[in-house]
Amino acid sequence: MEWLQNDLKNVDRTTTTAVVTHIPLISTWRLVNGGNGTMVENSTNVLKLFNDHNLKLVQKGHIHWKEYGFINDRFHLITGGSIAGNG
């Protein structure tokens, strides 16, 4: 996370920002399907780094699940499913 903290120091806080990950930072999969579901272990800490930034989009994949949300009237959340044929 140190590299991300250092990068964000050089980004104007008003700059529109997007985060793209393979493994989800946020997902409804666990809530709907139960179980552990794969997510970034320190996702809460990662997202907190953007609290004072103009984060508008978090996009991710990996879980073969399509979802869209608007988190806390602040940023959009998109999971793109899978190109493997089941999402």
Residue 86 lies in a domain: no
Average pLDDT score over residue span 35-56: 89
Residue 15 lies in a domain: yes
Whether residue 46 has pLDDT greater than 80: yes
Name the residue among 77, 83, 85, 11 with its Cα closest to residue 39.
77
Task: Say how many CA atoms lie within 13 Å of 87 toward its Cβ.
Answer: 15
Residue 48 lies in a domain: yes
Pairing of strands 75-80, 66-71: antiparallel
Residue 27 lies in a domain: yes
Average pLDDT score over residue span 11-28: 92
Q: What percent of the chain has pLDDT over 90?
A: 55
Give the pTM.
0.83
Residue 87 lies in a domain: no
Residue 87 amino acid letter = G
Residue 41: domain span? 2-80
Q: Give how many domains the chain has, as a whole number.
A: 1
